Structure 1
Amino acid sequence: MKFAVTYNGALFGADPDRIIAYAQHAEKCGFEGLFLPERLVLSPGMKLHNNDVSLTLPFLDPVDTLAFVAAATERLLLGTGVLLLPYRHPVVLAKQLATIDVLSNGRLRLLAVGLGVVPQDASATGVDFRTRGRRADEAIDVLRLLWAGGEEGVSFHGEHFSFDDLVQFPKPYKATTLPLHIGGSSRAAARRAGLRGDGYFAGGALDPQEREAQWRTARATAEEAGRDPDRLEYTRWSSIDLTDDDLATFAAQGVTRLVVGASAQDPSEQHDQLTRFADRFMA
């Protein structure tokens, strides 16, 4: 089992020293990587996970913040949980992500992308909310095409993106692509993971039967597409208060990575929580 951490600026603030201290401590503890969430816009009356939300919460841009964290760490892998792919142009995003990967010596390797469920994100960026799934599928194809393309250029003609003979460098560090995990909590997301993803980052509050059904869907879809289902990684959220029984249950479900986050507000106690978790499960 691999273990990574998340930092949510909306909960813990956008103080740069605090973010770096958290990331560096996670690295010292031996965690695999750091995941950052994305929330594009807020609006009056909006609810997140059925809860009222303060409109002044400082949701950090994950791509920019990962570049910041990369400069202050040495080993920690960098990830998103999840990046709202339909609302970013893939040609621009391909350049941004490859740049961070190169400057971090190949550490931007935990990218998870999803569709998002907030219609305001779509309207604010001029995207048709109903077509965001097809747009995301094309964006994944464009990202991989640009990363793999050579000096002869690559072309793409789809419903949402179209170009001819584009050349884009730098490439990802010593690679022709970056791993892309699909985040979500639906059968459609699971199918997308099987067809296009390197793994499934399952979210949502689902019962065990639906969890199992979605993972089966991801694996079956991969196999039907001629891909090796055993190469799919399975990432899940977990509590910092994980128990041995919880860990055994996750392992039995085929989970290969757990992402946890400190729950305390005080930075020192957050670090202590990460230390205790690492001592128990990663020693």
Structure 2
Amino acid sequence: MVFSKVFTALFPVVLAAAVNASPVASPEANPSTEIAKRTPGNVYLCPQTGWGGICTTISAANTCNNLPGWQNDVQSVGPDSGATCTAYSLVPIFYRIFVTFLAHIPVTNSQDWCGTGGSQWTFTYPGDSTGGWATANPWGLQIKSIYCNTGSTGGGGGTTLGPFTGLATYYDPNGGTGACPPYPVINNWDMAVAIGSGHWDGGAHCGKTMTVTYGSTTISVIVKDLCPGCQGANGIDLTEGAMAAMDPNYIAHGVDSVQWSI
């Protein structure tokens, strides 16, 4: 579908009364319960930082939205409460051809890259409005598709598993796909985790946010993979990027005792 760009500043009264209209006001500017928990899977997009410019709302609830008319045009991303949304960039054509040649697999439609390659960034409510070229956030103006998992705990559903004390190891997925649908590509420095088979529960926790605490440091990672060889009943396997964010001395330690919950 094609999204019309409507200047939201002209209609503050209408938007306050009809929260299901598109576009809606920015989640930071409108903290009301009605807007904050309107439709998990909807995402508020703006072409400028600070929720500026002519904005719109798209739906990506458990589906890949390829953002027609909005690719490379987003600098503020605001998911509605209740979903974990992952935004994807497009893999350069020469890379896709190279990977296809090596793997002997069909090239995925160039307009549908949710979970099939490139860079990816995770957003939860209230989102991030700092994706400009002059910021430290490299996703600004690079997003080409978005997938929102509405099974996440981002909407305040509380802890659904844990807390557990277990051993955390790390691995380098090297752009391989995880065991969780829609089988996203996992890069080494993504904030992602593979959950041990003892708590896999048939993939019931896929896409949910896991909180991991090591000493005084707590990180949040997304469950994207299965770890059948994790250490102990409560073992988890973090990507190297997540492990480094949690423990700067992870290489020397190798394995960390952590507390985690979902």
TM-score, normalised relative to structure 1: 0.22
Compare the two structures and name the one with the higher strand fraction: 2
| Larger helix fraction of residues | 1
